[in-house]
Each structure stands twice: as C-alpha cells, then as structure tokens.
Structure 1
C-alpha cells in the first residue's frame, strides 16, 4: 500500500474518531457509572484532597465535581480533576471554558489546560498566577493557549491549591473558536505511519573497533545533517529515528568502504531531489556560522559529497517537523521527539539514537557551542563507544549525564527523577545542606529543621571525609557528572550529592572550630528531606532594615505589590536588592524602570536559524525604562552569588544600568537565555540555554555571569557566627550606621 494512500485512510479515520469521541468526552460530567466516584473519563491528579462527583451543587444538569481540601494540608499536595483527550484536531489556538463555584478558598483555584507532544508538555496554564480565591458563586472562566501542530494530548481540568472547597461543571473546548465537535481533523505526518521499530531497533553490538567507531561517528553526523537540512525530513515524510535503525546494521556490516559509500548514496537518494537556492546568509551579522567542512573530510565519496552539497544549499522553510523556533523569543523548539520511555537499555540502537540526537541538537542549535571549549566532533567520537557499550540503564544514563556535563551550561542537567541514578549516587540524604565556603563544604542550613539535632551536625561544620573518602577524591569523581557553566555553580550543584548513600548511616569526619571528630549521621528518603525546602527562603519580599534603608527580595516579590512598595522605597536613601534567589515574577519592565531616569539598553540576543542550521545572528538591543524625572535617586546595592540564575541574571542586567548602583557578591550561575527542553530515549528530560544573551556591547554572559563590582564571599567564621556578610557589606556601602 502506498504512503499517500495510508495517509488518506488515517486522515479519514482521525476525522471520524474526532466526531465519535466528542460525544464521549463527558465534559459536562453527566456520565457517572458509580455514584460518588468521578465521572467517566475523568481522573484525580494530586493527592490528599477529596475529589468526587456531587449532585447537591451544579451549574446545569444533574452533577458537578467537588474538590475539598483536607484539614491538614501537607506540602506539595493539591486537588485536581483532569481528563485527557487526543490532539487529533487542526488549528493554532485552543480554549478551555468551565464554570467554578468555590467557598472559603485560601490559596488559589482555576482551570487547568496542558498540551503535550511526544517530547512532553508544550504549553501549560493553571491560572495560579491570577490568585483567584475567597468565595464565588458559579462563574465561567477561560484559558487560551497556542495549539501546536506537534501536539499529541490535551489535558483539561480544574485545580485547587490550599484551603477551601470548589465545584466544577460544564467544560467546553474550542479550537480556533470552533467547538470541538466542529473542529477539523488533523492530517498526520507520514513519519507517524512508520511503525516498524516500535518494539525497539533490534540493533546489537559488541566491543567496537577503531574503524567501527569512525563509521558510527560519521554516521551520527550525517544522520543529524540530513535531519535538519533535507526538506523531506523537515516535512515529516520520514520517521528519522527509524531511518537510523535501518541504516545502522548496513553500515556496521563487514563490507568494503566502497560498498558503504554506495549504501549511503542509496539512502540519501531515497529522500528525493531537493530544490536549491542561491540565497546565502549575511556573514556580517553572523555571530556563529554553520561548520560543515567535515562533509568533505568524512570519506563518503564524490557522489555522496555532491548530494550533500545540494542538500546543504537546499531551500528550507522556517519551521520543520523536528525543529522550530519559539514565537517571539527564537529559542529552539525540539518537537516530535519520541521519549521512548519503555525502551530496553540493552538496545544499542536506542542508546546511539540518544547520543546522536543530543549531539546534533548542540551542533546546530546551541548558541554557546564555542564556549564548550573542546572539539565537539572529537567529543562525539569519544562518546560513541561509551553509548554503544553501555549495556544497562545506569551505564547509559551516566554516559548521558557525562555528555550533558561537557556542554558547560547550568540549564543543562537531568531534570526528571531516575531510580537508577538515585541508586548510583545514593537514594537517601542527610538533612544537612552544604555549601562551598572558602573552597570547603560547610553545613549552612538544614533541609528538615526537625531532623537537625538527630544529624549531630551543626551549622558551620566543615566536612573533611565521607565514608573514609577524602574530599578531593569525592569532588573529582562527582564533577564528571555535575553540569554547570562555571566551577562555583558546579560545586553548588555537587554539594547535595556529597551526603548521599543507599545505607542508613554516613560516617563523616568534620572539623568544628579547632576540633576534629567523626560522626555517624542518619540519612532519609526524599519524603523526609526536601532538597528545595530552602529555595527562595525569606519571610517577606520587602522591609526596612533601617528607617533610611529598604530591602527587596525578588524571590517573594509580586508586581501587584508595587503601589505599596514604591512610596516606602522613595523615602529612603539606600535600597538593597537581594538577588540570591529566583524572581517570583518578571520585574524587568515593571520594577526596573523605577530605578532609571530614561530608557537604557541592557541586553541583546542571538537566535538560531532553521533555514541555516548552525547560524546565529544578533537581534537589536533591548531597552527598559522611559523618561522618568521621579526615578529613585538613592544608592542601590545589588547582591548576587552562584544561586543567581537565568531570569535572576537577566533581571540583574536590567538593574545594573541604574545610576548609583553597586553590585556585590560573587559570580553568578552564568546561564542566561530561555530554556529549550530536550527529551532523550529512556525519557531523559534535559535542556539547554536556547538563545544567546549578551550585554549591548557584545560582552558574554554565559559562563561569565554577572560580575560584581565588589567581590564579597561568606567566610567559615561568618557562617559559624550566623552572620550574613554580604548583607552587612551592602549596608556598609550605603553608609548606614
């Protein structure tokens, strides 16, 4: 059966399924098979809350859904009723409408809409930022989100966070303003019809020879080049993962170099001819240029090189099946990438796919590739045997984490939990939080205050050995798997892993003052040790330290607080902005203008190109502020350190243009730019800084960070005395008594 006929048949099936399932989605909650249980096709997300069908309160019909908070609300719990629909509709915008009635809500309530693709969540909104609470009779609410062409699932629902009770009723979904029943069905890409390797690649391999390593290295680069350059692949005409699985055994067979060239030529020719263009990018505006010299050095042969030359100069659209640029920002959107969450880790083809997918994403769409400061092509050759021979889950995921670490980007890490990695590093944690002070790991806080006494550790203790291993050996081993843009950030990321184990106790040698002692320290699971317990840990966003010194903590800040905060700040002679946090709201165009007498340039970006993969060009400079004679005329001190990351760094760049500002502290996390999520086989969730962020004069921020005017770092003595030496220095600079 031809590919076109299959497409036509599947299109008709999807259209009829859409019409059939509209009647079964049960968006009005009326179909209930068992009283009190949730309506058909609905489920409970979250834990600890009562979520049931209710007939005593309803907007229309006979039933609604009730969500009620428990008396004792545990951290991280919430109530949510949700349903999942197939994303089989054509359109560009989706809207969810629903009616809510609520009583005595303290926290937030709202609708929930999430759009997923093969790679994971694409768009999400739950109305929490609106802070809807209190008591309200039946009211219709609405959420609108972009509806991506690579969406696979639509999740709809309602959410209660905090105290209170909520009733939900009468949901409606619209695609481009049309009710779901009237939305046209989507024509699937041909890549979705290829099912040959749904059960795995079937590719196995033993220890590699040097020639095989070279062949796989060249194949990985060629596969990625075609993925992002050939129009047929960009159109979604081929499942490019499965094309790799088809070519792998042929290239790895014991055949001559001439025969391999013939197979590659045949493989590329199958994709069809391309239309070339004479249009070239403007080299004068290029910050990074495509590096494709290797095409003529890989030994593919003259015929293949001729084909590749035409593909290099092919006319391409500005979006593709596997890659697009996020609207309004320009960071890469790696779409339609299968997570292969149920892959077999003995599948060498899947493991090599993980390597090739990630390597090529970095090769063509990482704005800071030169800052890797090593030969990225040589890195591919180095990692080919590591991935090919990693025959179990732990080895494969460690190889992936090591590769991610080599990118030197604080935004690049393994985001999702992995039992195999937890077992490798230790699934149980000490309650003590470590930080590197004076290049030594020091206890600076506790993740669980109630367990602090049981630990035997005290704030200010210096860790010297763990389970008989010296500090230097531990750091050397851990750094191999600890990503970060600079060493201070890598040490910050490494610190929580130093006190991990699969046992019930750790033997730790510490130095406390002038004494050295050994301790048996208990460890706990993550249900007792919340590693994020001290994240943005402050009691308020604003206070007066002294009558004439104001203190602002952006980690708790809300733009809605401005009318109350600004008059108080205006009365002071000095303002301290403590950016040792992540801003809870975007402040660049709300608070920053208050510090500026006029509009000032603070940043410019580089963005990549789908039409010319590997090309990055500067955007115009961006300004914040406006003519403002009433700007803040007092002194400003901005505090930063390695916890100042991403949006915090971006915000600091805007603030740094203010007159009379002094930046104190230490170098920041040095990873700026919107994050582009990446998913790799085995459902490994990672990402990269997706756009380049530079000062208006072209100076780097990546790996450099926000460099303070006055370097101030905590000392061991200061930690032991319970002092905040950076805050003390800020007050001193402002000239306070």
Structure 2
C-alpha cells in the first residue's frame, strides 16, 4: 500500500553478480561516464552525474539532480549477492544536499526476495546540508538472495552520495560470517536447468500433470518434512517428473506418487492439529483428493498427511504479525532461467496455482472454477514458444483471479516492448464507455496537437476502440470493469511507432488525424492516475464556508491545522480520488466521529491449516474530545484503490458522512508479493476486507451512497461533476 515501496520492490532486477572483494561502492571506477556496476531507476526528470569536483572521499562522488517540472524519484542501486550469514547488515555513507523540497534524500537498502527494506523516508534529508554520515541497518535472513544498496532523491533538488560501506555484524563484506544453509538451500542440482521436455502432449498426460500439480502443492504446504525446509521443493518436482510424465497406466502413476511420498520421511501423529472451524469463511478445498481417480491407498496416504500436517514455523510460508497477510518465503525467482526451460515454466504454473489455492483470501470470488485452471493452462505453459508468450500466459492466469492488486509487476519486458515506448501527449479516460481526452499534460502543447478536452477517440489505426478493448480485455487484471478500463486507458494509445492514426468525434462531427507520440521522458507533466501538484496544499477553503481536503498531498502535521481551521465550517469535502500520501484512517477519521465507530474486519489465512480463512475482530475509529459536527462528503472513484479504499471505509463510519462518486478499484487491504521463475513478479490482496456486518469489499469496491459519474459534456465544459454534487449536498438544508 506504499507506492514508493511498491516501485522499489519490482523495478531493478538486473543481472549483476559481483565478488565481495571487487565492489565499487565509492564510485571510483567510471567507464563511459557511468560508475561501474551501478544502475539507475526511477521516474521523472533527473540527471545522474559522477562528480569529480565535489566529493567526500577519493576522486568521485555520485550526484542526482532534478532538472524539470516532472519529478518523482531517482535512485542509484548496486547489487551484492547475499552469500554471507550474520544477523544485521548495515549500509553507511556520506550525503550532501542542495535545496531538497517536496521529498527527501537518503540511503536505501533492500534485501531480496522481499525480506526487508528501508529508504530513510521517515528520517530523510531535506533542504541544504553539508557532508554528513548516515546509515541504514536491516535484519538479515537466511532466505536472502541479493542485497541492493544505494542513494536516492525523492522530489526536487540535488544530492551527492559518496564513500559507501557495507558491514555484516560489524565486519566488512570479505570477513562476513559464513552463511548457514538449510538442506533445501544446499540442493543445487538443477541450477543450470530442469532437463524436462515434453513431446506429443495428450489429454491423459494433461490430466496426470493436473494431479501432480495438486499433490506437489499439497505436500509443499502440508507435509511436515517439506515445511521444515528439508527439501528444495522446486527441484523435487524435477526429480519426479521424468518418470511420472511417461507413466502409461494409473497404477504406474500412483506407484510413482506413493513411493515419492514415502521417501519424504515418516509423518508422525499430530496432537495439535485441529479440524477446520465451522465458522471459517473459507475452508480448505481438498475435495479433489476423494474425487480423483487415484487408488484408495494413495488417497488414504494424502488424507493422513492432511490430518497430521505441519504445524508452526514453515520454510515456505508465514503470516505477517498483526495484519496476517501471507509472506511467500524461499521462492527462487530463477531470473536467469530462459523461457525455453519447460520444467521451470511448469513449476511457475504449479507455484502460482497453489499459492492462490491455499492463501488467496478471495478465491471464492474468482469467476471461473479455480479447479479447472491447471488443466486449462498446462498446455499453454508447456507449449509457449518465446518470452512474450510466457509473459502473456502468466498475465492471463493472473487476470483470472480478478484482483486489481494482481498484475505482472516485474519481468514484463516483452509485454512492455510489445506495447511500445511511445505515449500520447495528452491524458485520456473512459467516460460513458467512450475514450475521451480529459486533460493535457502540458497546456502549452495543446495548439500543436489539435485535440480538445472532451474529444472522443473512436478508432485507432482503423480499429474501433470498443474492439481493441475486447481484444486486450483478458490481459488487464482488475477486480471490476471500471478499474480495468482505467488501466487500459493508460496504454491504449501507446505504440512501437511514434505516430498513430486516430478518428475523433467532436460536436457530432468525425475527423481523422495523425497523432504524434513521444517517449515518456519527453512529455512534461506526464502522469497516469492523476495529476500531482508541485508544492500543492492538502486543504483549502471553498466558497460558502466549505472546507476541502485532498489526500494526495496530505501530511500528518496537516491534520492539526485542519481540525482548527475547519471546525466551524458548513461542511468538509474529502477527496480520495487519489492515493493518500499519508495514512489517515485513524488520524483524520477520529475527527469525524463522536463515538467508537467499527468500520472493518479482516479474514486471515493459516499456516497450520492451509486454505482456511477466519474472521478477526472488528476495528474501530476512536473518537477524540473535539469532533466535527458538520456534514462530511467523501469523493471516490475507480482511482481510489487499496489504502484509499480502506480510508474511505474508515471515514464512512463517522457521524454525518456521505460517499459520493463511483465504485472504487475493489482491491482493499495489504498486498502479498509473489516471485515467479523467469524473474516475474506479481501480488495479491493478502487479506480479506469486510465491513463489520460481513459485506465484502473485494471486487465490489467501496460503493458510494450517491453515485455520480462524469459525463463527456461535463469534461468538455471543464466541470468536476462529482465535486459539484458534494457542494450541493453540503449547501442543502
């Protein structure tokens, strides 16, 4: 739910493999004006320079400087293989800054895969400062594969960073403690490839592979010896596959499976294992065991494991403290493994299907029967011919779970290449099911482009927009259709060419034109979701004594001023058609309620009973002595996602609150990240989010009390019809 964390988690999966004694942490080795083995990442207009005039140590420092109006963040990063042990890893370095505003400068460190992260956000450097030493320290985990370190600039200004050092428990890298490997981590047999091939895949093989995928996943999460980390479960799949895939009869197949399970070790009787609670909102879906054509003996063996399953700390899965969303651990990304390896592609499918089967809190909301998906996708994953087909196959199955949080966030290189690097110079949006120009990134370019706000684009390169949407629909994961159209609108005018031929409807007349496209970095003011305001305030007074708050710029310290300045207003409008820049459900929500106001409850999965989900306790907004007694109107739409939806739920619990707008993105709650073979990354909504009465929010979104949708006419006239309705509600006696 933190956008910057989300960006750092998925951008930057380069292929650097460095010996500990050949690091370039002081930027001294510069080749072709770039510091060796350092990589850039980020969004916005920035310049990275390796400065030999201003430095803290040696001959060179690195500098990052904002050079335009469009800023977000820029970072330098360096990969270090985590082939060391220890408890703590510390990054130290020196930073100098100049005029840092609307953000911060700092060091950053990330331990992959998804172990720990710190970017100094809470203690970032602002303004102008001289060289000073800073540090970032994180807990090390045995599952760490890579450590990424560096410096970053968020917002505007300039920073220099120099003289970085990494220590492990106080020791330099070359003297770090030796890494203690589990049995699973010591298994390297298939590091160079699975050696799995298929020929003439027939229906019987597909059904057998479907069964294997289910049993492989069941054993992964249920078998005690696998849960202890005694097996590299990915590689165990490659060990059984050669013999299994060529089995001719069900008897042969079942004997192979039975011998495999027996070889894992004895499963002792579990005295702490409990049956699934009757009030569980989701129960483990294991009917496939009894409904399969396996032998009775094999079914009994699996049922015995179910009753005596692994308990406690698990090598592959845990739940976050307090919140309870799943953390998928020790999942190799195999980012260097080419798509051509059939075994790793099949592994990817099995891994994802079972993660959803046992730890997706909203699997009951999937439109299709999830139990049919293995059979559907096994031929697709086995038969892909290139990287693009592999990425598209994954994007499609991800879209099947109907979760806006679930997209292909990392490794989507060929898809991005196919969509193109050229973008339109104006923002478009689906309004009344029409693709409409709703804003210019830079008003000064309007005359040269020849399009007006309110123009409707009907055809792109001769194809109707409606037909294009139909063709790409399945490759845009979303909880609901308004959110899918939101995401499609960001890409529909992208191209591999720098022009598009479009047909445009304006005032009932249709005309054709060639639209010039640009690389994103060339478009001043470019944005996707909503326009950000440089130095923008989060609150202001509207006419007729109405307070207005936008959460896109909100800061924690603003709330004290808002409480004071807005306490006697006629009404307050809170705009959450954005992503909140600070966590406001309790901080600001307590201003709107006179009593403890229950607003949400979660469902959480179970490591001890994979596939079961149960309700937690209701959460409430606590009141404060001075609460707001006027009308509050909260604005939402399809841009309101995740933390924005959670915040809307919290505010709605207040005394006199009305939600206005349209259905939100339908992806509330904390996310859980998933690493997949080939360096692909995705996420799921990791907890089920419900109103206290049990009403669901996933897919449905936060439904407004009063629905108001923008119109093409309103856009053309430059009106904000949702805001107008809010003002009308407050002014009404």
Task: Look up the match of 1:234.
Answer: 227
Whether the 8 Å contact between 1:102 and 1:136 is mirrored in structure 2 is yes
Of 517-526 and 395-404, deviating more is: 517-526
Provide closer, same or farther for how the CA distance between residues 646 and 160 of structure 1 changes in structure 2, counting only shifts above 3 A: closer
Whether the 8 Å contact between 1:103 and 1:164 is mirrored in structure 2 is yes
Deviations 1:88-145 (A, max 9, x none): 455555444555454544455554342333xx44322221343422244554544343
Matched, 1:50 2:46: no
Aligned-residue CA RMSD (Å) = 3.1
Provide closer, same or farther for how the CA distance between residues 199 and 453 of structure 1 changes in structure 2, counting only shifts above 3 A: farther
Deviation at 1:230, TM superposition (A): 1.4
Of 203-212 and 474-483, deviating more is: 203-212
Task: Look up the match of 2:14.
Answer: none
Moved segments of 4+, more than 6 Å = 21-27, 33-39, 177-183
Instruction: Tell me which of 553, 557, 562 is aligned to 1:556.
Output: 553
Task: Look up the match of 2:194.
Answer: 201
Provide closer, same or farther for how the CA distance between residues 515 and 524 of structure 1 changes in structure 2, counting only shifts above 3 A: same
Equivalents in 1 of 2:110, 2:537: separation in Å? 34
Instruction: Tell me which of 339, 342, 346 is aligned to 1:352.
Output: 346
Deviation at 1:630, TM superposition (A): 1.3
Matched ranges for 1:153-552 at <5 A: 153-161=146-154, 162-166=156-160, 168-169=162-163, 171=165, 173=167, 175=169, 184-253=177-246, 255-278=248-271, 279-416=273-410, 418-447=412-441, 449=443, 451-528=445-522, 532=527, 535-538=530-533, 539-546=536-543, 548-552=545-549
Equivalents in 1 of 2:437, 2:29: separation in Å? 55
Task: Look up the match of 1:670.
Answer: 666
TM-score by length of 2: 0.89
Task: Look up the match of 1:575.
Answer: 572
Deviation at 1:216, TM superposition (A): 1.1
Of 384-393 and 522-531, deviating more is: 522-531
Equivalents in 1 of 2:390, 2:517: separation in Å? 27
Task: Look up the match of 2:12.
Answer: none
Instruction: Tell me which of 695, 705, 708 is aligned to 1:709.
Output: 705
Deviations 1:662-685 (A, max 9, x none): 111111101111111112222221
Provide closer, same or farther for how the CA distance between residues 565 and 63 of structure 1 changes in structure 2, counting only shifts above 3 A: farther
Task: Look up the match of 2:10.
Answer: none
Aligned length: 706
Tell me the secondary structure at the aligned position of residue 133 of structure 1.
strand
Deviation at 1:24, TM superposition (A): 7.7
Tell me the secondary structure at the aligned position of residue 509 of structure 1.
strand
Whether the 8 Å contact between 1:695 and 1:701 is mirrored in structure 2 is yes
Task: Look up the match of 2:4.
Answer: none
Instruction: Tell me which of 623, 628, 635 is aligned to 1:632.
Output: 628
Whether the 8 Å contact between 1:466 and 1:507 is mirrored in structure 2 is yes
Task: Look up the match of 1:18.
Answer: none
Task: Look up the match of 2:7.
Answer: none
Of 107-116 and 72-81, deviating more is: 72-81
Whether the 8 Å contact between 2:571 and 2:632 is mirrored in structure 1 is yes
Matched, 1:591 2:588: yes
Provide closer, same or farther for how the CA distance between residues 480 and 44 of structure 1 changes in structure 2, counting only shifts above 3 A: closer
Deviation at 1:569, TM superposition (A): 1.4
Tell me the secondary structure at the aligned position of residue 350 of structure 1.
helix
Equivalents in 1 of 2:491, 2:55: separation in Å? 50
Tell me the secondary structure at the aligned position of residue 377 of structure 2.
helix
Tell me the secondary structure at the aligned position of residue 361 of structure 2.
coil
Tell me the secondary structure at the aligned position of residue 590 of structure 1.
coil
Deviation at 1:419, TM superposition (A): 3.6
Task: Look up the match of 2:6.
Answer: none
Equivalents in 2 of 1:655, 1:77: separation in Å? 28
Equivalents in 1 of 2:443, 2:198: separation in Å? 51
Of 605-614 and 164-173, deviating more is: 164-173
Deviations 1:469-521 (A, max 9, x none): 22332222111211111111111112233223333432222211111122222
Equivalents in 2 of 1:77, 1:713: separation in Å? 30
Instruction: Tell me which of 595, 604, 608 is aligned to 1:611.
Output: 608
Equivalents in 1 of 2:21, 2:417: separation in Å? 46
Unmatched runs of 5 consecutive residues or more in structure 2? 1-18
Deviations 1:289-317 (A, max 9, x none): 11112112222323322321222123424
Whether the 8 Å contact between 2:184 and 2:230 is mirrored in structure 1 is yes
Of 538-547 and 487-496, deviating more is: 538-547
Provide closer, same or farther for how the CA distance between residues 588 and 407 of structure 1 changes in structure 2, counting only shifts above 3 A: same
